[in-house]
Structures are given as C-alpha cells and as structure tokens.
Amino acid sequence: MRAAFNKHVDAFLIAVQFFTTIPVRFKTYPATATQSIAPLYYPLVGVMIGMLLFAAASYLHTHTLLTSAIVVTLWAVITGGLHLDGVADSADGWMAGIGQREKTLAVMKDPLVGASGVLTLVLVLLLKFAAVVHLLEAGALFVLLLAPLVARTATLLLLATTPYVSPTGIASHTANQLPTRVATAVCGLILVMLISISPSVAILIGLSFWWLRRAMLRRLGGMTGDTAGALIEIIEVLFLVYFSVI
C-alpha cells in the first residue's frame, strides 16, 4: 500500500516538474512504470496553475489591463514558456513543411524560430490577454481556474488516443505505456464537469480537439512533444475566447 502511494506521489511530482517551473528534485529519478502514469496527473497540475492565476487575478487591485498583463505573464512564467515553444515550432513546421511530413518534422526540430512561429506566438498571447481583460471585466474569474485544467486534460486525451511519432522522443515511453482506460475515464469525468458548466463551450472544445488531432494525424501520422505543447496553448486560448463570446 505504501509503495503504491509513493508511486503515485512521485508520478504527480513528475507532472509538476514537467509542466511547471516549481522546483522538484528526486534523489533517484522514478522508474519508467511511475513515469508512465504521470500524465494521469496532468489535469491536477492544471488545477494548480489555475488556482495561482485565479489568486493573482483576485488579489491584484490594479487597472484591468495591467492585471491582465500580469496574469498572462505569470501564466508564461509558471510553465516556463514550454508550451509557447511548442506553438512556435509547430507553426514554423506547418508553414515551412508545405504538407510534407519529413520536412515538417525537420523544421520543428530546428532550434531557431521563424516568422510563422513569432507571428503565431504574438497572436496567441494577444488573444489570451484580450480574453483575460474581458473575463476580468465580466467577473468571470472561474474561467482562469478551468482553462489550464481543460487544456491539460486535452493533452492527456491526446496521449491516450494518438500515436507518438518519434520512438526516441522525450515522451515516447510515457505515451506507449500510459494506462489508456484510466486516462480516458479521467478525461470523461472532466468532460462531464465541463458539460454541466457550459454545454456549448464543451462542444466547441471537443470539436477543436478533434480538428487539431486530425491535423496532426494527416500531416505527421501522430503527435510530437511540440504539437502536444501547441495543443495546450491553443485549447487554453480557445477556451478563454469561447467563454468570452458565448
């Protein structure tokens, strides 16, 4: 019992270490079996991030524009810009790859950021900032709690349902050994929660996930770490925008 508990604690800490800049150290890095269940805790890490954003938005008593800028900045700092990097790399790959799988993957691996990547980053941050401004003015701070949760649930579902392109990729062994039944059950529970809050937003997020996953399958035949990161940022932005306009 104690060993099983420690395994899950370590799995949660791996998820925290991967998705945030919160310092997590291991004397001995957990075994592959523990790493394989870490994605199950991605939604919980999303809740943690959302709580930090909610707290910042609630207790900052400055102009709405400044508060929004601080919240978006905190959002990037908490995650270390990891997913923003995925957005930039994916955008460069999709534009420069001109429909070719190998060229797309090669461009995505290039550490340099191209014009498409920069433009996409600007648009993502601009949309996120504008949506946060609207939500603050509308008093809908609960959306900040939900956005990171929903986005990381989408990533869990992506891992559970989509092949990993590179067998030597950073998360390939995790994706291959993920307990998919448990993962889909977790995603199902969170989907039910989202439907109870806003059926229309739940439908739009579901359609957005389907379209993004389909694009990955058609171009790459699966997912990569970059496209998973891009999925998180895009779902977060769309979630904020959907709640702002509906």
Q: pLDDT by residue for the chain (246 residues), tens digit each? A: 666 777 878 888 889 988 898 888 887 777 777 888 889 999 999 999 999 999 999 998 889 999 999 999 999 999 988 889 999 999 999 998 887 899 999 898 888 888 899 999 999 999 999 999 999 999 999 999 999 999 999 999 999 999 998 766 555 556 667 888 999 999 999 999 999 999 999 999 999 999 999 999 999 999 998 999 999 999 999 999 999 998
Q: What is the pTM of this model?
A: 0.92
* pLDDT the model gives residue 175: 64
Taking the mean position of all CA atoms in its chain, how far away is CA 122? 18
Q: Which amino acid is at 124?
A: V
- The predicted structure's pLDDT at residue 218: 94
Q: What angle do CA 117, 103, 159 make, to 5 degrees?
A: 70
Report how far residue 21's alpha carbon sits from residue 30's, in angstroms, rounded to the nearest whole number.
Answer: 19
Q: Specify the pLDDT at position 2.
A: 67
Query: How do the domains of the chain map onto residue ranges?
Result: 44-245
Residue 200's alpha-carbon distances to 153, 184, 234, in angstroms, are 18, 21, 18
For residue 141, the model assigns a pLDDT of 93
pLDDT at 32: 78
> What pLDDT is attached to residue 179?
87
